[in-house]
Structure 1
Amino acid sequence: MNAQPAVVRRSATEEDRLRALLVRLITDGAHHNRCAGLSRIDEGRIAHDAFAAAFHIAALYTANLLTTGTIQAHGGHRPDPADQAAAEHLADNLPDDPAERASSLGAIIRPHVASPKPASGHQYLSTGCLHDEHGYCQSNTGLGGAKVPAKCKWCAAQCICPCHAQGAGDA
């Protein structure tokens, strides 16, 4: 189930690169839309639907850039000037290290994540868990291989599904 990354040659044209990006945005959006329809819990459905909407908007921007050569605004909003300046600075100075690059992007797009809130009070329910199929949740391996206990990626709160409770299987 692990998709191979799209490889675009450095010598590829700008159009080739934008086309590869557009294909990836569309397929990731379709994936999250499908996951929203399959999710058994509201949190999972909402999260996947939001991802699908974000990929849709990014695909629209990319498709417009590919076909017209311009970024066309959608939704009538104007970017905050400070966000615009930070984004332009980062775009001109992208870190070589993938982790540092992801962190730099996240610091602009989702700054609240840079300083996560303590786990106390957060009722986290993993969107990756097949809730109510506890044989799956409690097994040592899942569809993606070896499993680890589910935690919120933002604040490390443990999943409240009974499958992940202390002593419940090896998950």
Structure 2
Amino acid sequence: EIILSKHQEGKFEVLQNIPNREDFHFGWYVYFQKKLTNSPVKEVYGRKIYRPSDEKDTGRAYYEKYARLNLDNFEIEELADLKGYLAFYSPKANVFYALEMDDAVHEAKLYQVNEGTLKLLKTFKDVDPTSGLNSLDISRSSILVKKGNKIKVYALPGLKEVRFKKL
């Protein structure tokens, strides 16, 4: 069950209980800005997990899809197949980024996600989220890509590479 609540003055007020019969999970990381009073959140992104009835036929224990929880009607909507694992970030209300990392091919894809659509912004090749030498990290304002001794920083939004003089 998903419980949406509002926290105010040390108390939680339950706004909505959603039966989680569809196996909806929030992204690996979900960040929201601290105060959403000026721009309330309209949607939450995560993944929907499918478990095949016969694992011998598929060879996999489960499949995952990008999913969107619409906070207007509390419906869960499938968006696309998911490869690797997922992290969602919201530097400000209603602007979401999805980072899909695929360990098998050492690749990361950054998507902007809005109202149920995924727009591929950039593919980062030769990154390994489990290794410190060739890794990728995302924060509210930037993406940090490490390849050996070289580090690149891309600003969000826009993905403009940040260059530092004297470094």
User: What TM-score bracket applies, with the shorter chain setting the length?
Assistant: under 0.3
- TM-score under structure 1 normalisation? 0.24
Greater RCO structure (CA 8 Å; 6+ sep):
1
- TM-score under structure 2 normalisation? 0.24
**Higher Cα radius of gyration:** 1
